[in-house]
Amino acid sequence: MKYINVIGAGLAGCEAAMQIASRGIEVHLYEMKPKKKTPAHHSDLFGELVCSNSLKAKRIESAAGLLKEEMRRLDSFLMKCADKCAVPAGGALAVDREEFSRFVTEEIKSNPKIKVFNEEITEIPTDSVTIIATGPLTSDALADEIRKMFGDSLSFFDAAAPIVTAESVDMDFAFTQSRYDRGGEDDYINCPMNKAEYERFYNALISAERAPLHDFDVNNPKVYEGCMPVEVMAQRGEGTLRFGPMKPVGLVDPKTGHRPWAVLQLRKENSAGTMYNLVGFQTNLKFPEQKRVFSLIPALHRAEFVRYGVMHRNTFICSPKVLNSDFSVKENKNLFFAGQITGVEGYMESASSGIIAGINACRVLDGKQTIIFPRTTMLGALFGYISDASVKKFQPMGANLGILPELENRPRDKKERAAAYAARALSDLDNFVKTTEV
């Protein structure tokens, strides 16, 4: 019987497995949890969201929103899960992470075409077409095998933000509002600070004690900009946070009628709204230090932390040297990679790569040519970038309008330009799907 191996039941692996199963091909899905976990894993469920619970912007005229719309048009399994488990988050699509992972797990395990094996894979299978989707937390044994095969595996560090209970946030020092009034007024809790409060917090943050990295390469950590620990970011200068995760732009404190000096936003972590995460506050501070420093923010002076931030290793291959833009290995058409191990950065970027790898793995198994999506689509542009041999210093890349080919008639207005990119991408994707066996 024909089957395809999928290693890893994270976002990319689950999406790939369901894409394959929907085409009538059996899947052997391997997941080492719950027998073995990495330091960043908390749940036994599939599709675990390790960092934020936000899947970024919903607007189609944004890079993240465009990517999600393209995924929907390709019948993405995880987009269906995300829409079902969404929580209010203004202009962003955020999910109840437990509900999301539970739903993903139930759908995967109940699919008759998917056989789940709870075991760690330490060698790359050669018995059939295989997709490696072990993510940025690939186990040491398999990572060593990948290094032996390619010699260009890289690592950097990623960090997760703390979560606090809603009832412990002192609303006498906070207000609910979405930035620029986009979305529901209670989607975010805003924790404002004046100049003196911010300076006190800032000085405590940059001098706070950090947790040891243990088995990580402490001599040469590579911190990816998109998930940088807040204490590392703060060391770049006193104003860095005020122009980053604590920017007050688009917010007015109703108590003062003015824009605050700095603002920490809290976003709903679950549907019930009982937990909130500290937006942009990924951290590697020691747990007692997190409690001490973050409690200096007036609204969090009595905050109850249900999860502290953690820092963990990310691993990715040098995809421009290793992969084609269909996610197959250049030297082995029966082997595919998908997810953040390829250098795509972000939840939905990872899941979308699972769509493409799943589709193309099926085509290889059936003796057909793989397909490459138009570069004018966000899918095609992103996957074209990670396989672009001209990229010399490869770093993870998330969806952004800058990787799309230039428009023929480029509008000067930024919003009009984004809308034009999106319209072209979706039109080209629809035409591609109509004329190609996807």
Angstrom distance (rounded) from CA 424 to CA 143: 39
* pLDDT tens, position by position, 245-296: 999 999 999 999 999 999 999 998 877 788 899 999 999 999 999 999 999 9
Q: What is the pLDDT of residue 10?
A: 96
Q: How many CB atoms lie within 10 A of CB 406?
A: 6
Distances (CA, A) of 291 to 230, 302, 415: 14, 9, 40
339 Cβ neighbours under 8 A, 6+ residues apart: 8, 10, 11, 12, 13, 133, 134, 135, 350, 353, 354
What is the pLDDT, as a whole number, of residue 216?
44
Q: How far is CA 349 from CA 63, 135, 142, 345, in A?
A: 11, 12, 23, 6
Sign of the dihedral defined by the CA atoms of residues 210, 215, 219, 221, in that order: negative
User: Which tokens go with 313?
Assistant: 């290793």
Q: Pseudo-torsion of CA 347, 51, 10, 214, nearest 10°?
A: 130
pLDDT tens per residue across span 45-96: 999 998 789 999 999 999 999 999 999 999 999 999 999 999 999 999 999 9
Q: How confident is the model at residue 243 (pLDDT cuts 50, 70, 90)?
A: very high
Tokens standing for residue 261? 């000096």
What is the rounded distance in angstroms from the CA atom of residue 5 to the CA atom of residue 335?
10
Look at the block and give the residue holding tokens 């924790």.
Answer: 191
**pLDDT for 370-405, tens place per residue?**
999 999 999 999 999 999 988 777 878 899 888 998
Lowest-pLDDT choice from 2-11, 209-218, 262-271, 317-326: 209-218
Q: What is the mean pLDDT of the chain?
A: 91
- What is the C-alpha separation between 438 and 432, in angstroms, rounded? 9
Reported pTM: 0.82
